[in-house]
Structure 1
Amino acid sequence: MRLRHAVGATLGALTLLATVPASAAAVDGYATYAYGDSANPQFGKLDDIEGRMCIEIPEVESGKSVDAWKFANKTPSNVFLFPEAECQGVHTVVNAGGTPDSGVKFRSVYFAQTNT
């Protein structure tokens, strides 16, 4: 009787795991950007990146009056750069390994995670 319950519980757990959607997975590589005063810029780096999630650029979070720019995508994933927090606004696409036009400013990013 106990074996039957154990098997039933195991099968139930496996079924539950199979129905839960896959969570975001890490993206290989990193991305760099500049922020602050253009005459004396500071530089930031995103690594340990979670794909398929909106990532706020910490140095330019909502309420701060600076934007990030000079993005360099050193990942195998396409990236969407957003001019507003929470991945809002008209986005700019940066291909895997690429950079956007020099005038693109952003506050949040989304890695499409093309690597698996």
Structure 2
Amino acid sequence: MRLRSAMAASAGALLLLLATPGSALAAEGQFRYTYMTSDGYEAVGFLNDPDGGTCINLQGPGSEPGSAAYAPKNRTDATATVFLDEDCSGGAYYTLRPGGGASDRLLVRSVVFS
């Protein structure tokens, strides 16, 4: 009798665990952005399968710290909200739908996926 109760409790716990969504699911796909290197060359940065719900500060290799990236392209399956300020702060932000993009005029320093 105890074995049946233990098995039933284990099965119930497993079903509950599977039914609860994960807190930090990754967006599938690639997020791209353009930035200027410290030598003045245009380069493309990207994030592959970025974490959802986590703010990501954008900076390309060799770019000046705090410099803004531009022309974001959201090639993920999640909505991306890009911010002009670092740490996903400030009132200047723009939302990119999955598969969407923006022009070279949109400056970004951070992004969060939902």
Structure 1: gaps of 5 or more residues: none
What is the distance in 1 between the residues matched to 2:66 and 2:85?
A: 12
CA root-mean-square deviation: 3.0
Opposite residue 30 of structure 1, the aligned amino acid is Q
- Distance change in 2, residues 1:27/1:87 (3 Å): same
Opposite residue 108 of structure 1, the aligned amino acid is S
The 4+ residue runs of structure 1 with deviation greater than 3 A are: none
SS of residue in 1 equivalent to 2:60: helix
| Corresponding position of 1:93 | 95
Structure 2: gaps of 5 or more residues: none
| Corresponding position of 1:78 | 79
| Corresponding position of 2:23 | 23
TM-score (norm 2): 0.71
Once the two structures are superposed, residues 34-57 of structure 1 have per-residue CA deviations (whole angstroms, 9 ceiling, x without a partner) of 1125x6211111003111211111
TM-score (norm 1): 0.70
